[in-house]
Structure 1
Amino acid sequence: MFGYIKPLRYELKLRELDEFRGFYCGVCTSMQKIKYISKFFLTYDAVFLALVISGLKGKNYKYNKKFCVETLKKVRYFSGSDIDFAAHRFLKLLEYKLIDDYEDDGNFVKLLLAKSIGKVNVSREFESQLVALLKELRDIEKNKIGSTEKASDVFGRILELLVSDIDGIDETNMVVLKNMAYNLGKWIYVLDAFDDIEKDAKKNRYNPILLEYGFNDGEDIKDFADKVRPDIRNLLYTFIEDVIAAYNLLEVRTYKGLADNIVYYGIFNETERVLNKMDRKCG
């Protein structure tokens, strides 16, 4: 359910590509400081959050250097409180998502992974609201409610929560940022649901698209995907329009070229990549 918010790399300028790597390695380094294994939970979504917060505050980072054990070379990375903020909030979300998954399927590996993340610095209020929202989402999934609107609304509110209570951002930008995050969350949830329909159909797992559009056990999943693709595309592009409308109102003062690439190109590219994955005409 994570990792869709990424740039379209071949449209990036070399400077912007370096900046993206600086944020990516910066969030990774921040997660590693919590506990080494935490860095393996790094997502593009956390990187985007760090980027947008920094851009709204007008931050200009200097590159730090370190040796990366994974790539076996020196990397340049950004560091700062806003990058730490993004890392901590996404790790807390991932921790509770893994616990929820364990409660659903009893997979102890997910529970062990959740416990391995380490102590994450978030407020009690944020944590309690996050737990409540994830419970609401779990209830929808447990009760097999076939509504992309209801399920995506909850995940939208989860992403909205991730960008709440950020120091140093004025009230107007904060309202707009929350609106953008909400619609990004809805886009992520529905896109992920379509991405997983073949797997979910085979394993008889909850998927609001399968339920809402009446998938039958004997039906060919690729035929089903062809049937629902136009409606899902329209829904996803409605969310994208709302994301862009909100983003255009934000006062992103630094790293705007990189942020523009993700919003104007990256999310479109990911949308079409997922939608066309099972399209026989594109295969």
Structure 2
Amino acid sequence: MFGYVRPPLGQLEPAQVDQFRQIYCGLCHTLKKRNGFWAQFILNYDFTFLALLLSQGEEQSLCQGRCLSSPVKKKCYCPQSEALELAADQSVILAYWQLRDHVVDSGFFKALGYRVAGLLLRGAYKKAAKARPQFDQTTRVQLDVLHQLEQDNCPSMDEAAHTFAQLLSAVAQEMDSDMDKRVLGQLLYHLGRWIYLIDGADDLQKDAKSGNYNPVALRYELTDGQWTSQSKEDFGHTLDHSIHMVATALELRPQTPWTSLLEATVYTGLFAVGHAVLEGTFESKIGRGHDLLNYRKPKNVEEHP
């Protein structure tokens, strides 16, 4: 995943920011304990949103501990749970196969970095794949299909987005009830579609320079990665439709202690990210979210109405 699914931190109450930080740190600790030292380095906002989605029931008593990002001061974090374990395993599997995919798609020197990262993550991947063989198989199959579409320079933006959306929706197959599988599957399908499209839009100029496959550019026949006013408007409507479908599925999910954070991310955060990407102001460098550890709500920030 890519770091696009972010809560609107500046518009959250301090208690909500703390709550998000706690599950963010809880996922980080779970990744380390369950999948090893290197697994914690794949943590980002997207994976935290997945953990929020999978978490149900009452909040548990918080733990306290130090980590690489906060070696001196102890931070409160959510204890290891089935939801965090599931999110951790699936995060590792997806990250590992994405690294392998980058090796194939990149030039020799750039691929070296991906190879090293893949080797460091391989032990964590083996543990996660053993625990979640079905998701591992689905991830490999869908990424192979996506790679073939890229090799064929497939002009269908929807077909490419559909492939990644199917991959992400497979997360829901680990749920116990058929209702959870259907509702969460639909939510993750449309979120996956949104992620794939927003990533394509974010990479327009970079891919135009490198000549890499970009279905968004092909769909709108863009030159040098530059939007026309009409294509930007049309693409914005496409993004908004995916968010509305995510929101519709979210409304069918049971209320949990995390519902307000999920709603803020979907109803506000996704629209803000989409707008920033289309306007060229998106800052991908904060996608990992370590700024969150010492986040303080800025003064004079507009509140929700």
TM-score for the superposition, normalised by structure 1: 0.90
Count the aligned residue pairs: 271
Conserved? CA contact 1:28–1:39, under 8 Å? yes
1:131 aligns with 2:134: no
Structure 1 position 30, deviation (Å):
1.4
2:5 maps to 5
Shift of 1:253: 2.4
Deviations 1:7-35 (A, max 9, x none): 10122122211110011111111122222
Write the distance in 1 (CA, Å) between the matches of 2:157 and 2:27: 31
Confirm whether residue 110 of structure 1 aligns to residue 114 of structure 2: yes
Displacement, 1:247?
0.7
Shift of 1:163: 2.5
Equivalent position amino acid for 1:204 in 2: G
> Is 1:97 aligned to residue 90 of structure 2?
no
Per the alignment, in what secondary structure is the counterpart of residue 74 of structure 2?
Answer: strand
* SS, match of residue 76 in structure 1: strand
Distance 2:118 2:90 in 1: 14
Q: Which amino acid counterpart does residue 67 of structure 2 have in structure 1? A: C
Deviates more, 1:130-139 or 1:36-45: 36-45
CA distance in 1, matches of 2:267, 2:8: 9
Deviations 1:127-186 (A, max 9, x none): 11211111001111111111210011011111101222224xx32232111000000000
* 1:163 aligned residue: 172
Task: Report if the CA contact (8 A) 1:173-1:251 is conserved.
Answer: no
* 1:46 paired residue number: 47
Residue identity in the other structure for 1:202: K
Letter in 1 for 2:218: L
Q: 1:199 to 1:225 in 2, by over 3 A?
A: farther
What is the CA distance between 1:99 and its match in structure 2? 0.4
Post-superposition offset of 1:116: 1.0
- What is the DSSP-based 3-state SS (H/G/I as helix, E as strand, rest coil) of the residue aligned with 2:252? coil
The answer to which of 13-22 and 225-234 deviates more is: 225-234
Deviation at residue 44 of structure 1 after TM alignment? 1.1
Q: Which runs of 5+ in 2 are unaligned?
A: 283-305
8 Å contact from structure 2 (residues 89, 132) kept in 1: no
Give 2:155's match in structure 1, choosing from 141, 146, 149.
146
1:231 paired with 2:234, answer yes
- Structure 1 distance, partners of 2:134, 2:216, is 33
Does the aligned pair in 1 maintain the 2:172–2:182 contact within 8 Å?
A: no
User: 2: CA distance between counterparts of 1:270 and 1:225?
Assistant: 20
Q: Which residue of 2 aligns with 1:268?
A: 271
Distance 1:278 1:225, change over 3 A: farther
- Percent identity (aligned): 29
How far is 1:75 from its partner?
A: 1.0
Q: State whether residues 52 and 258 of structure 2, in contact with CA within 8 Å, keep that contact through their aligned partners in structure 1.
A: yes
Secondary structure, aligned partner of 2:142: helix
User: More deviation in 230-239 or 125-134?
Assistant: 125-134
Contact 1:95–1:115 under 8 Å retained in 2: no
Distance 1:94 1:225 in 2: 33
Q: CA deviation at 1:59?
A: 3.4
Q: What TM-score do you get using the length of structure 2 for normalisation?
A: 0.84
Tell me, in whole angstroms, the C-alpha distance in 2 between the residues paired with 1:278 and 1:22: 28
Q: 2:83 maps to which residue?
A: 82
Which stretch shows the higher mean deviation, 227-236 or 182-191? 227-236
Contact 2:172 / 2:180 at 8 angstroms: preserved in 1?
Answer: no
Alpha-carbon offset, residue 5 of structure 1: 1.0
CA-atom RMSD, angstroms? 1.8
Q: Which letter does structure 2 place at the counterpart of 1:124?
A: P
| Contact 1:46/1:90 (<8 A) preserved | yes
Select the residue among 163, 180, 185 that pairs with 2:187. Answer: 180
SS at match of 2:138: helix
Deviations 1:62-105 (A, max 9, x none): 21101122233211111212112101101110101110111222
What's the offset of the Cα at 1:277? 1.1
How many angstroms apart in 2 are the aligned matches of 1:194 and 1:8? 20
> Structure 1 regions of 5+ residues with no counterpart?
none
Q: Which residue of 1 aligns with 2:67?
A: 68
Question: CA shift at 1:227, angstroms?
Answer: 4.8
The whole-number CA distance in structure 2 between the counterparts of 1:98 and 1:87 is 16
